[in-house]
Amino acid sequence: MDITAVGDEHFVVGFNIAGIKSTFVVEKDTVNRVMENVMSGNSAVVIINKTIYDMLNPRMKEAVDTSVKPTFVILSHDVSGEENLKMMIKRSLGIDLWK
């Protein structure tokens, strides 16, 4: 199972240190192209931060939100990150564990 991290230099360096070898440094003008390549690759899990997610065009955001393979984990500093995690678990398992 491949794990990929996509973000700015500061974001991906932590994942490199943790042993994640598949990382992509992106900027605003390359983010959509890189995400398309990542989605068509062999990654099972793709970790991005909220800043990168916000840079995506609406079509790519929809693809990220509905993708099962790879599953996208969007890290955030705010409380909505918890809701995002709940949504991903519900999508992956097919049931809502919080009901």
Residues 8-67 pLDDT 10s: 898 899 888 888 889 999 999 999 999 999 999 889 999 998 889 999 999 999 999 888
What angle (nearest 5°) sits at the alpha carbon of residue 76, between those of residues 41 and 55? 60
**Element (DSSP H or E) covering residue 47:** strand 43-49
* Full-model pTM: 0.75
Domain spans, the chain: 2-93
Record the tokens describing residue 51, joined without a space. Answer: 């800043």
Question: What is the CB neighbour count within 10 angstroms for residue 31?
Answer: 22
Instruction: Please give the radius of gyration of the chain, using alpha carbons only, rounded to the nearest integer.
Output: 13
What is the CATH number that goes with domain 2-93? 3.40.50.10580
Record the tokens describing residue 54, joined without a space. Answer: 């916000």
